[in-house]
Amino acid sequence: MRICLVLLFSFTIVAVASAQKADAILGTWANKSGEDHILIYKKGNKYFGKLDWLKYPNDETGKPKTDKKNPDEKLHSRPLFGLELLQDFTYEGDNLYDDGTIYDPKSGKTYTCKMTIEGDKLNIRGYIGISLFGRTEIFTRVK
């Protein structure tokens, strides 16, 4: 009986520690220039990120920036602020979040994506096909 209790207790501690490590990505992250912030949050067991702050939220006409480059013309009028750019990431262990996508509003394209955390740095790598053919953007945690 004691062995079962010890094993159950040990399993619970490991599960809680793993969940805390996985949730280390939650919060607000700024791009290299500091002009955009992404809020990363969790829905179920998946991680998502939305555009949470823009240094320049308005276009040249003074109106809020919209998703003008989206290939779907019906979406050209949706605002960039609050737009979900990161979708469907799962925590794979070793600070790796994989199997997600990233939408680039500057090009209107969606890429396969993976993310890794190194301290207060978040490496977001978007790519086509295999990770070798891609680009990494480094974000910094907003405190």
Question: Does some domain include residue 10?
Answer: no
Question: Does some domain include residue 134?
Answer: yes
* Domain count across the chain: 1
SS3 label, residue 63: coil
H or E element: which one contains 127?
strand 121-127
Number of Cβ atoms within 10 Å of the Cβ of 80: 18
Question: Does some domain include residue 72?
Answer: yes
For 15-53, what is each residue's pLDDT tens digit? 444 456 999 999 999 999 999 999 999 999 999 999 999
Please answer whether residues 128 and 107 qualify as being in contact, where contact means their C-beta atoms are separated by less than 8 angstroms: no
Question: Does some domain include residue 11?
Answer: no
Side-chain-side CA neighbours of residue 14 (13 Å): 7
Domain with residue 115: its CATH number is: 2.40.128.520
| Domain enclosing residue 67, as ranges | 25-141
Give the predicted TM-score (pTM) of the model: 0.85
For 83-127, what is each residue's pLDDT tens digit? 999 999 999 999 999 999 999 999 999 999 999 999 999 999 999
pLDDT score, position 2:
61
Please answer whether residues 25 and 97 qualify as being in contact, where contact means their C-beta atoms are separated by less than 8 angstroms: yes
